[in-house]
Amino acid sequence: MRSCFSTFLFVVFTLLSGLPLIAQNPSLNMTELSRWNNPDLPTHSGIRYNDVWGYADCSGREYAILGSAGRIHFIDVTKPEEPIEIQSFPGSVNSIWRDFKTYRDRAYACADEGTDGLMVFDMSRLPDTVMMTYQNNTTFQRSHNLWVDTLQGRLYMAGTNTQHNGVIIYDLTQNPDEPQLLASIPLPGGYIHDIHVVDNIAYCSHGGNGFWVYDLSDPQNIILLGSMTDYPERGYNHSGWLDADRNFFIMADETHGTSVKVVDVQDFDDIYVRSLFKSALLAPNLGSIIHNPFIRDQYVVMAYYHDGIQIYDMSNPDTVVRTAYYDTYPINMNYGGYNGAWGAYPYLPSGNILGSDITFGLFVLRADSIQFQPGPRHLSPEAAILNVNPALCEGSPLELTAAPGAESYRWFFNGDPIHADESSYVAAEAGYYQVEARNGHCASRSDSVFLELISAPALKAALDTPAFCEGDSARLGIAGLADSIFLIREADGFRELVDLSLQIFEGGIYGIEAYLGACVFTLEDVFEVTVYPITSPEIDMEGPVLQCSNAGQFAHFQWHLDGSPISGADAAAWTAQQSGLYTLETVDANGCYSVSEGVQVVVSSVQEVLKTEIGLFPNPIKAGQSAVVLTNLPLENSSLHLRDTYGRTIAVLPVTASKQVLDTAGLLPGVYFYEWTAGNGRSLGHGKLIVQ
């Protein structure tokens, strides 16, 4: 029954080889999405196709790298139902064996026949084109297999014609287009049929000599870590793959009837076969033959001669169970010879699986029952400098910040790379800056940002006096140009926009901030302003003697009668000789001038002296609060005059009673002076009102 069905499928394949509709092959939990086959390609010893590898570019498109006897093919499988060949490159001769691996956006290829040597292909221009950038066949001409340790950026050539019993090692980190030869060394295990290297640890399939593990960190000092030359169902050790935890190695003996080996490599001193499993697609015939195994997550994806692409669940390494398969070679009748699936690639970000069949070419498959964990997906990241309208202010380096989301960054100044790999860079020079953002091999470079150097403005500032008396002010003069200038007082956060001059009324330490473009400059000079408080003289009266009760606070005195100075009255005390309004002017040690409240003195015919008084209460008052006027001798037609420090009259209140209210609404905080005058204009007394 199976034989008839297989023959029928072969006929269908032959008839429909040029049509878009393709008959489905025997499968389990796997679906064929498409295939690519060119029957006009040449064969060699019955082989038309050999190995396959995969690649995803920086825009998320996916590709297959397929080997045929005569060529290397790059095929776009982004739309898995419509594979499109982008380009192909001929080898030196038709070869049964070709092998490929990738590093960043480069592909490396070799062949085991002819003189291809090492070929390097630039895939950075996909999907438009692929270019061969390098070929070298002087170190070797033929190689059975190659491997790239992407963690270390090293390329390994195994089974070459010049180092048949060892390995040739190249460095790819300096120039991926021209690999640098590091070493060509023999290994104790002899001929290597396939090599698998992770972080400098090489797991080598030595054909008939079994399985060997080496530390190749120092190519000039190879260390043998362990080996396994005797094991169950021993055959020709063809190839293998290490799991992500580096505990188990899936080993494939390319010998009919032998099982796949789960090799425990947790202890290199005790490497052993943990379990065995094999395909039984043609059971009861168990003469199957494995070719190439791969591991993604807990699944082993294998290219099996005759039995197609097989998937096994190895979550329990002691009991590995088949979960899916797709038979790429349905015309198989038995396990004689070497036909069917050659290679597989299960690492595309989409989760689609690439399979190569010796006869039928490329298969794009989907594992219906398996949801692979997302693998690395290197897409071109956004590259941008986030600073808006950046300007480089003299004396203040500017931190440039790149858009987040990339794995690594590199900065450029005037087109030259800067040794900086963080997402920000502190720029100290004027010029053009760019940032390159990179995810794996995918990189984007930002537009250039020009940093203009804005020099500090040549400002000069000077005070006409550093100290003054309360009620006076100092003038700050500023020379120079800036977009705006601010006077600041750091102690209390005072900040005021100023022109080229400013009157300062309060004490403190002042600084100057100048704005020019996007830059803020602070003058180095600071200005300390001192404001001396004013103390008013206080007058006591005992009989005709007027005495300054706080005379110790003053250096100079001058008594006045009705507003005119009294000659010789320059002491702290004075005896009144006639009636009138007496005031005392004083100057303190700081040079601050002050005038006392007026004292009205009446000298009667019998020399009786009386003191008349007027006052505002409370004093000081809060802004908006009304003051009460109190007098002890109201005079008809007298009035109270309120003036500011510039002598301007603010309010006039007729005094008609010994107690009345003075409306102070609208008065700003500051110092005001009042004077009580008789109807004939004669001064009866004066004083100072402080509004807070």
pLDDT band at 8 (very low <50, low <70, confident <90, very high): very low
| Residue 644 falls inside a structural domain | yes
| Residue 39 falls inside a structural domain | no
541 and 589 in a single domain? The answer is yes
Instruction: From 454, 471, 497, give the residue that closes a domain.
Output: 454
500 and 544 in a single domain? The answer is no
Write out the two tokens for 574: 């004075």
| Residue 679 falls inside a structural domain | yes
620 and 591 in a single domain? The answer is no
CATH code at 433?
2.60.40.10
Selection from 487, 488, 484 nearest residue 520 by Cα: 484
| Residue 354 falls inside a structural domain | no
Measured CA distances, 207 to 170, 225, 295, 300, 588 (Å): 23, 18, 21, 21, 110
Instruction: Give the mean pLDDT of 594-599.
Output: 91
Tens of pLDDT, residue by residue over 213-248, are 999 999 999 999 999 999 999 999 999 999 999 999
Mean pLDDT, the chain, whole residue set: 90
What's the confidence (pLDDT) of residue 459?
84
Q: Residue 291 and residue 303: Cα distance in Å, rounded?
A: 6
Domain count, the chain: 4
| Residue 250 falls inside a structural domain | no
| Residue 265 falls inside a structural domain | no
pLDDT band at 608 (very low <50, low <70, confident <90, very high): very low
Instruction: From 417, 435, 454, give the residue that closes a domain.
Output: 454
| Residue 363 falls inside a structural domain | no
What's the confidence (pLDDT) of residue 532?
95
607 and 619 in a single domain? The answer is no
| Residue ranges making up the domain that contains 431 | 391-454
Q: Residue 304 and residue 339: Cα distance in Å, rounded?
A: 9
486 and 540 in a single domain? The answer is no
CATH code at 633?
2.60.40.1930
Tens of pLDDT, residue by residue over 445-498, are 999 999 989 988 888 888 899 999 998 999 888 888 888 888 888 788 888 888
| Residue 411 falls inside a structural domain | yes
439 and 469 in a single domain? The answer is no
Reply yes or no: is the peptide bond before residue 654 cis, omega within 30 of 0: no
What's the confidence (pLDDT) of residue 634?
62
Q: Residue 653 and residue 639: Cα distance in Å, rounded?
A: 5
DSSP 393-443: ETTB-EEEEBPS--SEEEEEETTEEES--SSEEEE-S-EEEEEEEEETTEE
468 and 523 in a single domain? The answer is yes
Greater pLDDT, 358 or 665: 358
Instruction: From 572, 593, 611, give the residue that closes a domain.
Output: 611
663 and 643 in a single domain? The answer is yes
Tens of pLDDT, residue by residue over 63-103, are 999 999 999 999 999 999 999 999 999 999 999 999 999 99
Bridge partners of residue 338, in order along the sequence: none
Tens of pLDDT, residue by residue over 322-357, are 999 999 999 988 898 899 999 999 999 999 999 999
Would the pLDDT of 545 be above 60?
A: yes
336 CB-side CA count, 13 A? 2
